[in-house]
Amino acid sequence: MNASAQVLIAGAGPTGLAAALFLSRAGVSVRMIDPKPEPAATSKALAVNPRSLELLAPTGVADRIRAEGQGVNAVRIARDGRVVATLRPRWERIAPGRPMTILPQARTEALLADALAAFGVRAERGLGLSGVSQDHHGVTVSLTDGETLRASLLLGADGAHSATRHALGLDFPGDASDTLWSLADVDIEGAPQDEARIEFQPQGPLVILPFSGGTFRLIGFGDDLLGRLPQGWKATQVRWSSDFRVSHRMVEQMAVGRVALAGDAAHIHSPIGGRGMNLGIEDAYVFAACAVDFLGGQPDRLNDYDRLRREVDGGWVAASRRLTGFMENPSPGARVIRRFAPPLAAAVPMLVERALKAGMGLDHPVRVR
């Protein structure tokens, strides 16, 4: 039996990589596995919000994300192709030195992995988790290659179909929508490269985010996203596309004994608000702080992790469910509200600031106690 690290992390996505980096910087030995043979080449997540940049700043990764990523200087809200409101976030007042930055998740993962490699830690790919047991002294983990290892703690950051969560026998309660959503990364001519746009159309909302020069991310539901671009914009190449149905789920416990869950293994929700990857990075930060104390002789700290993160993550899952349900609602009343409410709300500074803080992860403190 191998006992090669204090903490084993299952999953080498942004949540697992961030947790490994935070722990390594604190002097904790880490081993990380992932059943996927290669890192993801495509990116579901794009936005790195100011809260994540704040948490990652001491690692040096935040500066690299900002240097490589695309800033957002304005958000234009349009109704049937006509701009009805323009929001220009005052980043230096709201989040000094850390504006919302658009960078494909694959690049964020690569930057986290580069920083982690400086500590001699690299993901062991093609290697998954097949069994978990624990006692008062540690966790015994069986791997898919037949190896059995022992660790003080296990973090399951292994996605929505988490093997760690299944090994713990935890339910993943929630619901799934019947509405088919689409993502597409598209090269577009004629579009401002530092502005986001939200189009409210009869078919449904269409969100357009800039990244990587002239490439934009389209998010929406309804037919033919490309045919719904603003007048004067021309799609020249589709680089990637994917369809999916939105689920909203929250695990009942984020820590059981010496095993914890983080990111999509613990909570999933719609892409509205851009909080998925960012909440996972928050989970990683709080887990690392609690794990360091646990390993230092404070046995209740993983219970603290569960209490602290389930409140925040569960709150966003519930809010996202309400917002997504409103966006998908086909009733005439909901359509009227979607048509007229956004520009009216955009004219109220208090509502604008509240919405911006929610999207930026600044609507709550990141507490470790």
- Compute the distance between CA of residue 327 and CA of residue 118 in angstroms, rounded to an integer: 44
Helix axes 332-346, 301-328, angle to 10 degrees: 110
Q: What pLDDT does 58 receive?
A: 97
Specify the amino acid at residue 361: G
Of 30-34, 336-340, 345-349, the range with the highest mean pLDDT is: 30-34
Question: What would the DSSP string read from start to end of 225-244?
Answer: SGGGSPTT-EEEEEEEEEEE
Summarize the confidence of residues 288-306 as an average pLDDT.
97
Q: CA separation (Å) from 65 to 68, 78, 115?
A: 5, 29, 12
Q: Looking at the whole model, is its pTM more than 0.85? A: yes
Query: For 85-143, how does the pLDDT look when each residue is reduced to its tens digit (9 = 90+)?
Result: 888 877 767 777 788 899 989 999 999 999 999 999 999 999 999 999 999 999 999 99
Let me know: does 53 contact 218? Beta carbons within 8 Å. Answer: no
Instruction: Please give the backbone phi and psi of residue 368, each rounded to the nearest 5 degrees, phi first.
Output: -110, 0
User: Helices (H), strands (E): how many in the chain?
Assistant: 10, 20
- Compute the distance between CA of residue 246 and CA of residue 269 in angstroms, rounded to an integer: 7
Q: What pLDDT does 92 receive?
A: 67
